[in-house]
Amino acid sequence: MCAQITDLRYRYHVLNDPTVTDEIYDSLTRELRKLGSENPEFLDIVNSIDRVAGKPLDKFIKVAHTVPMLSLNDIFSTDELNDWEKRITKLLPAAAKLSYFSELKYDGLAVSLIYEKGQFVRGATRGDGKIGEDITENLKMIENLPLKLKAPYPNYIEVRGEAVMSKAVFERLNKKNEREDKAMFANTRNAAAGSLRQLDSKLTKERHLDFFAYDIAEIKWPAERGPTSRTEPRGRTPGSRLITHSDKHKLLREFGFVTGEYEAICSDLDEVNKFIGKVSEIRPKYPYGTDGVVISVDNLDLQNVLGVVGKAPRYMAAYKYPAEKATTIVKEIRINVGRTGVLTPLAVFEPTLVAGSTISKATLHNMDQIERLDIRMGDTVVIQKAGDVIPEVVEVLPKMRTGKEKKFKMPEKCPVCGAQVERRTSETKAGKRSVLEEERSDGKGPTSRRLLNDLSTQSESVAYYCSNPKCPAKNRRGMQHFVNILEIYEVGPKVLDRFKDEGLISDAADLFTLKKEDIAGLERFGEKSADNILASIESHKKIPLWRFIYALGILHVGEQTAKDLAEQFGSYKKIKSASFEKFGEIENIGPVVAKSVYEFFQQKENINFIDKLFKNRVRVLKGEKRKVGKFSGFSFVITGTLSSMSREKAKEEILNQGGRVGSAVSKETDYLVVGEEPGSKLKEAQKLGVKTLSEAEFLKML
């Protein structure tokens, strides 16, 4: 029966190929326990495969590692990978031929397992590499960790591997902690480590951890199988020996261990890089957290030649995928003048690798943000890429200050044109909703209870503007905004600057008058570049009304507000001739936004620009009325990666059902759709009490 249950457990937890139902498996296990209780002489055999939590411990006992548990040197780029190969090649014989073994680097807790005569007898944490903690009872609670090895097994073996928690279990655990008002785990690694350091192994069992083996530190076969050593572990047959690191993985699987799902023998670094690229693609949806790839010299003899330096082996390295966050030093704070004339502070810092690209600057948004962060020139800060796109400063580390840091002060003169800088205070658009609270829909009560809640969202923000309406910076930023919103991607900022410098254009409307000969003759352009640019411009001469309004760069008018205006008025002419009161009647548009839109169309220079666009054969399509559907009256925001569709497709589905889609979470948001690896929007939704939807719940609503 023990052999039968061991085989069933191996198939279920290791091969993921159960041959019987859970009910039969549980029934056999109960029968085995009964057999052990009735026949004490079989108790040791029963305990060797049964996982029953023992008595809670008072503390963990320190244990020494016979073979030190080493750490790995990190590599962050292809260049560093090439440098590593050059270094180790110099230490090897000229005739040595390198090949590599690449495998997933799981983001969990490294542990050591000791087996004697096939029986699991002790497990320990890495600790400082030389001394760890005995967590044997907790490791026994990991279902896919074999308590008894499959024969033939050695007299003694030490296996190294990673204890991990799956993303699905992590999510369930954090939801449970949230319901019970307990502390949330930051990531799967912290959750796995915390689970294995429970004094009560029953708690560990409830966490449903997994184990992935990646190395054999030491192995001793019976005497008749020949001598052995720690550095050259013997194979399973007399006189044979393990030749490569990949041989170790094969032997581990034969003993009943799970090794990484993704691994490869690579003949050179080109194949290693392909493997790294493959893992990069699967990482977001992979069930377990992984922060890189471990690359080993595959031949064990060459590993012995290379040896260890300090606490890291020369023959092995960890390629780490770009970090989501990093620290850097703020060198200075500059001012950019935006398309509306707003002065935006920009932090400039030492070039730093974050999420796949080198970052050297990030917006600080406004003085409110600078004061909130208390950021100073010379500060050490934490930066990240919001949504893997926009760099931002998220934290200042004041304890790193030296006393030489300088506070930032907003300039009194525009850094571009020298005009006076104006300080303006604006309200949020929630003010409009508070006015509607007094109106009656049927003569008996307020139009909506939600309107009362909007009163709490009123706030003031301070911004600084260049007072010169003809500031060159306004014109430049305005053109960039215009071509971006129209999706004329062939015309980037540098192309616009070049066209302006050459006198080909004075504003975005002039783009629609360009000819091939105007562009092809410019240095570094040529006929092909000219054709691509002109084709892109030509294909965007017909513009949806909402996109046209958005592209004009009206203060306070983003994508959603532009869509609201297009749906309400239906044509440019009606928007142009609308009164301030008409703009104020639109839901979700407050008095500040209404004033900005109305005043924009009262300014002669803005109307002249629009007329010039029309003269240059730009055509604006009529606005479509918002579709009516099950989502009418509801506002959505989407965060994270959806597995069943792109975010754009999800947005389209919401709009087709009459809903609204915002870019930021506010109290006006009804639902936050949460995909994998959500950003800061999830925390904001939780803070504001906005209802969150999993992807499965969202799909049901569709």
Instruction: Write the DSSP assignment of 278-334 as a string of letters.
Output: HHHHHGGG-SB-EEEEEEEESBHHHHHHH-EETTEETTEEEEEPPPSEEEEEEEEEE
φ, ψ dihedrals at 377, nearest 5° = -65, 125
CA 214 to chain centre: 26
φ, ψ dihedrals at 636, nearest 5° = -120, 155
Say whether the peptide bond before residue 152 is cis (omega within 30 degrees of 0).
yes
The pair of structure tokens assigned to 456 is: 């709490």
Beta strands 119-125 and 210-220 are unpaired
Look at residues 364, 385, 384, 383 and name the one whose alpha carbon lies nearest to residue 374.
Answer: 364
Cα(293)–Cα(19) distance, integer angstroms: 33
Q: Are 631 and 670 in contact (CB under 8 A)?
A: no
* CB neighbour list of residue 77: distance below 8 Å, 6 or more residues apart: 353
Cα(482)–Cα(496) distance, integer angstroms: 11
C-alpha distances (whole Å) from 589 to each of 471, 562, 593, 637 are 28, 10, 6, 18
Annotated catalytic residue within 55, 62, 90, 105: 105
Cα(425)–Cα(341) distance, integer angstroms: 14
* CB neighbour list of residue 221: distance below 8 Å, 6 or more residues apart: 154, 155, 228, 234, 236
The pair of structure tokens assigned to 367 is: 């003085």
Beta strands 660-661 and 635-639 are parallel
- As to burial, measured by CB atoms within 10 angstroms (0-12 exposed, 13-18 middle, 19+ buried), residue 591 is middle
- Give the CA count within 13 Å in the CB-facing half-sphere of 403: 0
Q: Are 644 and 700 in contact (CB under 8 A)?
A: no
Determine whether 105 is an active site residue. yes
The pair of structure tokens assigned to 629 is: 């559907």
Beta strands 210-220 and 263-266 are unpaired
The pair of structure tokens assigned to 655 is: 């709009």
Which single residue is written with the structure tokens 């977001």? 284
φ, ψ dihedrals at 317, nearest 5° = -145, 155
Beta strands 380-386 and 357-363 are unpaired
Active site residues: 105
